[in-house]
């Protein structure tokens, strides 16, 4: 059986788990080819400087970074939370909103403090994702390839965290699409952190972008 190794351009364990769940099984069952997904963290690669000013720019620079250093196809996403009343912030700064990259708890606390006096009906927000595939020149004797797909999940910001699943802003984000699983018995809808991984991936910005990219990965690499 042929094996295709793809590098996930992230050190975020929660994101690695999500991306593996979305891609690895589906790719490995679509053909007589095994998919081996490894992360930048697994390979000891550093994080690139994310100096892009859009989600697409940052997704591409991360995917290029791992592809150039390994000679393997790279997949990256750049995602962020966009809060309407905050003028599209935190946006591309979502992961370091409180000042330290990846401090999820601090990011949530700061955002909730900033929205403290905003009523529920005006706490609309959405997640955006750009997922990029970069295949370096010469891989499998092919030309270089760069593809970007997008995904979006709309909802609103809760007044306090709920749920233990997921990562990032999941515990304070209430998606509009409740998958017919609204917690009616509790009188409120679910946050992303109250959903299972399968439920979240079915409606999430990253799930939508990765499913769109899946066809490109299949066509180019399998």
Which residues are tagged catalytic?
78
Please tell me what DSSP assigns to residue 177: -
Rounded CA-CA distance 90/85 in Å is 11
Cα separation, 113 vs 32, whole angstroms: 51
| Beta carbons of 94 and 106 less than 8 angstroms apart | no
Q: Which of 73, 87, 172 is nearest to 131 (CA)?
A: 73
Instruction: Of 13, 10, 101, give the one whose Cα is nearest residue 62.
Output: 10
**CA 155, 50, 97, 170: dihedral to nearest 10 degrees?**
40
């Amino acid at each position: 059986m042929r094996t295709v190794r793809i590098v996930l351009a992230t050190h975020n364990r929660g994101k690695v788990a999500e991306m593996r769940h979305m891609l690895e099984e589906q790719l490995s069952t679509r053909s007589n080819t095994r998919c081996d997904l490894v992360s930048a963290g697994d390979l000891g690669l550093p994080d690139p400087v994310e100096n892009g000013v859009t989600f697409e720019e940052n997704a591409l620079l991360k995917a290029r970074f791992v592809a150039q250093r390994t000679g393997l196809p790279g997949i990256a996403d750049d995602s962020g939370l966009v809060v309407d009343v905050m003028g599209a912030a935190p946006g591309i700064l979502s992961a370091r909103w409180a000042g330290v990259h990846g401090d999820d708890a601090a990011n949530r606390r700061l955002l909730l403090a900033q929205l403290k006096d905003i009523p529920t009906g005006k706490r609309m927000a959405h997640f955006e994702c750009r997922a990029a595939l970069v295949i370096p020149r010469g891989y499998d004797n092919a030309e270089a390839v760069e593809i970007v797909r997008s995904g979006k999940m709309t909802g609103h910001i809760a007044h306090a965290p709920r749920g233990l699943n997921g990562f990032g802003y999941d515990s304070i984000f209430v998606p509009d699409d409740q998958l017919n699983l609204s917690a009616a018995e509790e009188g409120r809808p679910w946050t992303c952190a109250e959903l299972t991984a399968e439920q979240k991936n079915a409606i999430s910005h990253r799930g939508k972008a990765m499913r769109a990219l899946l066809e490109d990965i299949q066509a180019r690499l399998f």
